[in-house]
Amino acid sequence: MAASKPHPFAFYLRIARLVKPFWSHIAAFGLLSLLATPLALLVPLPLKIAVDSCLGSIPLPHMVSALLPATARPARASVLFLAAGLLVAVALLSQLQSMAASLLGAYTGEKLLLAFRGELFRHMQRLSLLFHDSKGTAESLYRLQYDAAALQSVTIENLIPFLSSALTVVGMLYVTLRMTWQLALLALAVCPVLLLSGRRFRQGMRQKSREVKALEKSALAIVHEVLQGLRIVKSFVKEGSEEERFVRCSAEGTRARLRLAFIQGQYGLVIGLTAAVGTAAVLVVGVGEVQAGALTLGNLLLLMGYLAQLYEPLKSMAKKSASLQTSLAGVERVFALLDENPEVPEKPNPRPLARSSGEIEYREVSFAYTSDRPVLHEVSFQIAAGKSVGIVGETGAGKTTLASLLLRFYDPTEGQILLDGVDLREYRLADLRNQFASVPQEPVLFSTTIAENIAYARPDASMQEVAAAAKAAYADEFIARLPQGFDTRVGERGMCLSGGERQRISLARAFLKDAPLLILDEPTSAVDVGTEAAIVDAMARLMRGRTTLLISHRQKVFVNCDLMLTVGKDRPIVEASDSLAIVCT
Ligand SMILES: Nc1ncnc2c1ncn2[C@@H]1O[C@H](COP(=O)(O)OP(=O)(O)OP(=O)(O)O)[C@@H](O)[C@H]1O
Ligand SMILES: [Mg+2]
């Protein structure tokens, strides 16, 4: 994974670019959140009015007295009711504000996440098989499902509330400074401690969050792998050891999460304690000032209320910065995935290809999955348009690899492959792949109905066409025996069907896709001899007029092939003969 450390500014800029399409929603959410500040300033006011103007005899503040009928001196009872009414009104407004903000926040966040996940999924599908083979699916799954959500929490749950908290701090500060600047400065004296401890803890939290994420992903990978291979796990009675592996990995995750929680707790403690020290200092000095008559009791209470609210956003900023670090670690991981380049790139101005004639040439093609494991070495051969080629070779010799190169699942390490005399890399990738109907060695079915699986390449195919394809692949008989026929759901990866049945559905899919080139990788490996003979017959019809690469370990399958190729395991050979003879060099 590309884990190069981006400059923090570039990192935030990238987040900003991502959320840009939603800026109007985010701005509206931000403004709505900012309303919390003036409302928070009003919260301690009723208490001050009650103490100073109802219990005491200090005149009402100017703006408040305007709410009462213009008499020389309002009755204490009406002042009290005013204070009580104000309290309820402020609470109501606060609740409405927070409800509206959270609704808009949820809406914006979900929209943002959907767009982000969509982009991530698109990118994942474009990444090469080599990437997915080596990283495993759980990795991508975790990033898509969990890490992507971090972008939402960065913007909606952290950044905007963070800004609104910061603004509240500024508002509170302004008001307290105006009331009594000496006390306000005293309260502020603790701020450097808050800032410094924040700096110190953030780094540790981000580091721990990264660890937690890596461990959670590993646990998910175990579940994914075990469930996919559950038949093997059960047959080797390995449930116990798999459970142990999972629990061990999860326990490590738990320990890492606890360590993270501990750091967060420590941070909370430092913040809370610092705030308390500040408040205590103001209390001591403030009471002295009230005794000396420099401050009214109501104003002291107002000040204490504001102080509590000054520290509250500071505390919540600290808490937010803890979860912000976790989210940023997630966003980092998603960016790393987005930075992976597809290893099978498309040219800037690719060549369109409507329908290929089917002429193939391999020119000195070498290929290695990893540099220390070469598979093909300087392979050269030609197949004329419409010819069918049988490919044989020892297991692991590179037959499947040879065919994969044609579909550009991988690009040759050296040499080139030409289709209709043009290098494959020149073509538009989608156009190129559309030229092939391929039956892979491991049939891949999706968890929908049989009909939809057959019509995968041509969803618009009529039911008659689907049935004809099934018949051609000798799949019609077993489908007819199923209670729901073509509407039978095949289960995840087609697990509700037998190996041979899956293979025939996969073959039917190739029959339905009217492509000029065919790749059949052991299309009959899982069927009985009788069915094989029938399928060979059917394949002969399918292969007519199409360039075909037919890979098999069974000789009988090759009866209709024009040429034979042998892929040698350790030798750089693939040679075409124009007879049925198998060439070994
Ligand atoms: N994704 C991969 N990553 C690394 N090595 C791979 C990968 N796929 C295959 N190989 C290796 O490449 C070699 C050729 O594999 P390939 O699947 O092409 O063989 P094959 O001729 O089709 O064999 P079989 O007859 O068993 O299907 C093997 O040695 C295999 O271990
Ligand atoms: Mg193979």
Question: What pLDDT band is residue 474 in, cutting at 50, 70 and 90?
Answer: confident
Residue 584 clears pLDDT 60, i.e. is over it: no
* The predicted structure's pLDDT at residue 1: 40
Alpha carbon nearest to ligand 1 atom 5, residue: 369
Rounded mean pLDDT, 56-68: 74
- The model's pTM is 0.73
Higher pLDDT, 408 or 315: 408
Residue 378 clears pLDDT 70, i.e. is over it: yes
Strand ranges, E, within 463-546: 517-521
Rounded mean pLDDT, 509-519: 89
The per-residue pLDDT for range 451-473, each reduced to its tens digit, is: 999 999 888 888 988 998 888 88
Angle at 308 between CA 306 and CA 311, to 5 degrees: 105
Higher pLDDT, 408 or 176: 408
Sheet holding 517-521, edge to edge: 436-439, 517-521, 547-551, 388-393, 563-567
CA 477 / ligand 2 centre spacing (Å): 28
Alpha carbon nearest to ligand 1 atom 3, residue: 369
* Ligand nearest to the Cα of 409, by number: 1
Question: What pLDDT band is residue 572 in, cutting at 50, 70 and 90?
Answer: very low
Of 418, 408, 411, 490, nearest to 451 by C-alpha is 490
| Ligand 1 pocket, Cβ-based, cut-off 6 angstroms | 133, 369, 373, 375, 393, 395-401, 441
CA 374 / ligand 1 centre spacing (Å): 10
Question: What pLDDT band is residue 406 in, cutting at 50, 70 and 90?
Answer: very high
The per-residue pLDDT for range 158-171, each reduced to its tens digit, is: 777 777 777 777 87
Q: DSSP letters of 109-120?
A: HHHHHHHHHHHH
Question: What pLDDT band is residue 300 in, cutting at 50, 70 and 90?
Answer: confident
Q: Which atom of ligand 1 is nearest to the CA of 130?
A: 1
Residue 79 clears pLDDT 90, i.e. is over it: no
Residue 65 clears pLDDT 50, i.e. is over it: yes
Alpha carbon nearest to ligand 1 atom 7, residue: 369
Q: Which atom of ligand 1 is nearest to the CA of 522?
A: 27
Residue 4 clears pLDDT 70, i.e. is over it: no
Rounded mean pLDDT, 115-128: 89
Q: What is the mean pLDDT of the chain?
A: 84
Higher pLDDT, 40 or 23: 23
Which residues, by Cβ under 5 Å, contact ligand 2, an ion? 400, 441
Nearest-angstrom CA–CA distance, 89 and 82: 10
Higher pLDDT, 52 or 426: 426
Question: What pLDDT band is residue 426 in, cutting at 50, 70 and 90?
Answer: very high
Give percent of the chain with pLDDT exceeding 90: 15
Owner of token pair 């209470």: 301
Structure tokens at 33: 């959140």
CA 552 / ligand 2 centre spacing (Å): 9
Candidate of 132, 401, 406 to mutate for ligand 1, largest count of ligand atoms within 8 Å of Cβ? 401
* The predicted structure's pLDDT at residue 70: 65
Rounded mean pLDDT, 216-232: 87
